[in-house]
């Protein structure tokens, strides 16, 4: 990777298993959950909590994260589309003129994976999942879990944004080529629609078409027309690494974990403040920002979490 004019054109699919595509994005989600389980196991052992109950918490968290992230995207960002495509809300498919699902048993769809996920929805999903877990398992409070769960969630957020970068999605606004992090996302469908890439190159697959746009001189005009953009996913992801390091340090090296809600509040403030400011260089993701104006959908959704974080971080806690 080079500074000053990065051309970013990765094949986001690692390999195919029949009609199923295994993508970097999916792999990074798996890595995020694996790291999360490992970190939480260390915490459970450190605080002498039953490790076998971690498996149950893990299942609740995974389901809450994925369902919350998916439904958050559907209702916060793209309800006008999904209200007419209800089947696609909880299935990793997309309506297509040429695609098929389940080896041709259902025509008119293609397997895409869950590419529409919203972090605000994931946060809500985790909160609900934790509440349900504590209702079933005695000996755990929601704040105890939140204060510790923030550590793996922070590094997981980095993995997700790295996955977005590989997918060339959630890109930033246009920027001058001379900007040090300027990135040309060849696979950004807003800048070069897949149908146009196939049409001008006459290639049979999208990967071949995008590669031709990048490397074949006869298509240099189309390459030049693709604007440079902020790699907003990397800005956000790198900041999340610092959030993770700080929370990890505070948990293991200080007594902040003993103040219920402190680490959780700090996490909410840091994570959503990062999101709020990165939104200024991120291109619009849709949603309700046109009706409210001034701020983006992501910024409006971040404000309540920041306020909630301030409450938990600075609220008075009765000493035992």
Residue 128: inside a domain: yes
Residue 193: inside a domain: no
The residue with greater pLDDT, 82 or 163, is 163
What percentage of the chain reaches a pLDDT higher than 70? 90
Residue with tokens 């798996």: 30
Look at the chain and report how many structural domains it folds into: 1
Number of Cβ atoms within 10 Å of the Cβ of 176: 8
Residue 242: inside a domain: no
Residue 59: inside a domain: yes
- Is 281's pLDDT higher than 90? yes
Residue 247: inside a domain: no
Residue 130: inside a domain: yes
Residue 8: inside a domain: no
State the DSSP H helix or E strand holding residue 21, giving kind and residue range, or none if neither: strand 20-23
- Is 25's pLDDT higher than 60? yes
What are the Cα distances from residue 300, in Å, to 233, 243, 281, 308?
19, 21, 15, 14
161 is in an annotated binding site: yes
d(CA 117, CA 72): 7
Q: Which domain holds residue 69?
A: 50-140
Lowest mean pLDDT among 7-16, 56-65, 96-105, 221-230: 96-105
Per-residue pLDDT at 98: 54
Backbone torsions φ then ψ of 16, nearest 5 degrees: -115, 140
Listing DSSP states for 156-188 in one string gives HHHHHHHHHHHTT-S-B-B--TTSTT-EEETT-
State the DSSP H helix or E strand holding residue 259, giving kind and residue range, or none if neither: none
Which pTM value belongs to this model?
0.85
């Amino acid at each position: 990777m080079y500074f000053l004019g990065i051309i970013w054109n990765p094949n986001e699919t690692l390999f195919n298993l029949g009609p199923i595509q295994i993508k970097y994005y999916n792999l990074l989600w798996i890595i995020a959950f694996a790291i999360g389980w490992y970190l939480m196991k260390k915490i459970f052992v450190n605080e002498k909590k039953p490790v076998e109950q971690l498996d149950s918490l893990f299942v609740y968290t995974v389901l809450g994260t994925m369902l919350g992230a998916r439904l958050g995207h559907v209702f916060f960002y793209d309800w006008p589309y999904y209200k007419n495509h209800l089947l696609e809300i909880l299935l990793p498919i997309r309506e297509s003129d040429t695609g098929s699902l389940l080896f041709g048993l259902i025509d008119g769809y293609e397997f895409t994976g869950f590419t529409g996920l919203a972090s605000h929805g994931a946060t809500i999903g985790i909160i609900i999942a934790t509440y349900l877990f504590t209702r079933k398992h005695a000996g755990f409070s929601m704040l105890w879990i939140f204060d510790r769960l923030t550590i793996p969630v922070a590094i997981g957020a980095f993995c997700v944004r790295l996955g977005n970068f590989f997918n060339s999605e959630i890109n930033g606004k246009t920027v001058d080529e001379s900007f040090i992090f300027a990135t040309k996302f060849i696979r950004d469908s807003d800048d070069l629609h897949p149908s146009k890439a196939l049409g001008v190159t006459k290639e049979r697959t999208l990967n071949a078409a995008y590669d031709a746009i990048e490397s074949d001189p006869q298509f240099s005009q189309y390459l030049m027309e693709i604007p440079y953009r902020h790699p907003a996913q990397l800005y956000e992801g790198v900041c999340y690494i610092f959030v993770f390091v700080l929370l990890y340090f505070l948990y293991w090296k200080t007594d902040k974990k003993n103040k219920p809600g402190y680490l959780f509040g700090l996490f909410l403030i840091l994570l959503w403040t990062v999101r709020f400011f990165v939104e200024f260089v991120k291109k619009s993701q849709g949603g309700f920002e046109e009706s409210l104006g001034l701020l983006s959908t992501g910024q409006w959704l971040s404000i309540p979490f920041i306020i909630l974080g301030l409450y938990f971080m600075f609220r008075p806690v009765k000493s035992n």
